[in-house]
Chain A
Amino acid sequence: MSDWPGTMIKCLTERGVRLVTYVPDKVLIPLIDGFQGHPGVTAFSATREEEAVGIAAGATLGGMPSAVLMQSSGFGNTPNALASLIVPYQLPVVLVISERGVLGEFNAVQVPIARVIRPALDALGIPHVTLEREDDVEFLVTRSVHQAHRTQQPAALILSPRLTGGKMEG
């Protein structure tokens, strides 16, 4: 039984993440529930993803390491907040992006933004890894968050349907 959400929550909280803000997504439910039930974490929804990035930036500035959870379509709401705040101010916010639009997508409007995520992150200079296998999760998450915090740079963790099962029609 895959427990990628439990592993991610453990890795992020062990690396000090204490504030998690999100715009919900079905694939993210176990992460959201896990963070909301975690005694050391403040977790709540934001009305839009760039707002969530702003909240995480503020918490980080206040000394509270933070992560943002979003769906790939919601990533499309974030670029200005990333480009004008997270990147130039060198804020180690962790972005967790659940990937729609690939590997069995049934909704055409989810597909184009999925093609944008990695080129956009590359253009912004935000390191990203794609989590595909349960046994890679701990290494990739721990190392990515460690590097983000130590180098004062954001990091993006993309959750592939290969890991999460994704969202299927029906």
Chain B
Amino acid sequence: MDTTAGGASSALGPRPESHGGAPPGRRAEQRTPASLVATGGPAREGTTDVRGNVGGKAMSRLDLTRRLVAQLTHGEIVVAGIGNANFDLYAAGPRPENFYMLGSMSLAVPIALGVALAQRSRKVFAIEGDGSLLMNLGALATVAMVAPDNLTVIVWDNGAYQITGGQAAATAEATDLVAVARGAGIAQSGWARDEAEFERLVRDSLTGHGPRFIGARVNREPGAGRPERDPVLVKDRFMRGIGAKPAQPGSG
């Protein structure tokens, strides 16, 4: 079957060239000792940080989320991780195809992988924060192994555990998550250095083959919205929104 580990990647044939990001091995020279508390974002303006962001700026997570949602016109699914990822997804405008995680730090990528396998005809996006992704890097290896054609992982990287007080994450000075994703086997992995590049990478995800991984450096604005904290309601709306249950309760 084409969805098992071996078959899926071979069915896709040679993977398209990867885009963006720092070449492997580049970051060692750029590193400085990690500070205990991250301040001012993961990269200093005008420097090359571990992401290969030459003069890169920290973008607005909410603005990028809106730019993503604006491109979703065919019932694409979005699974947003705990905290600011789903706060901003909700703030960008509730959609029935959004799944809001109320807990389960680190599981946005696995959940999105499962949804992608169940809903092969829809594109699926997982949105995760850097701290959450760091908790379960193995999930990237599983995504690469299963190689779902319809899955894109987006990470908002602000180098910190923002929601718990801004403690420095390994991404602040050391870890390049795009390089991690590429090393895990997701060949189509790249940093979005600005809003236009982010929009282009999203567009590529919508038109091309997956799996893909998009990293975006973001600032530390607090998440703008709050989805209703009712897990069964979230599930029900989502499943009906994607046709996994009848559209109206009691209609099927």
Q: Which residues of A approach B to under 8 Å, CB–CB?
A: 19, 36, 39, 41-48, 50-64, 66, 80-81, 84-85, 88-91
Contact = CB atoms under 8 A, between A and B. Distances in A.
Contacts of A55: 110-111, 113-114, 117, 142
Nearest to B239: A61
A35 to B, nearest CB: 10
B170 interface: no
12 contacts: A42-B117, A46-B139, A47-B142, A48-B136, A50-B107, A50-B136, A58-B118, A62-B115, A62-B116, A84-B102, A88-B103, A89-B235
A61 B235 contact: yes
Contacts, number: 129
B138 A48 contact: yes
Which bracket fits the contact residues of B? 35 or more
Nearest to A19: B117
B1 A61 contact: no
Contacts of A56: 114
A124 B79 CA distance: 25
Nearest to A90: B232
Given A47-B138, A58-B112, A81-B107, A39 B1 contact: yes
Given A54-B107, A88-B231, A63 B118 contact: yes
B32 interface: no
B134 to A, nearest CB: 14
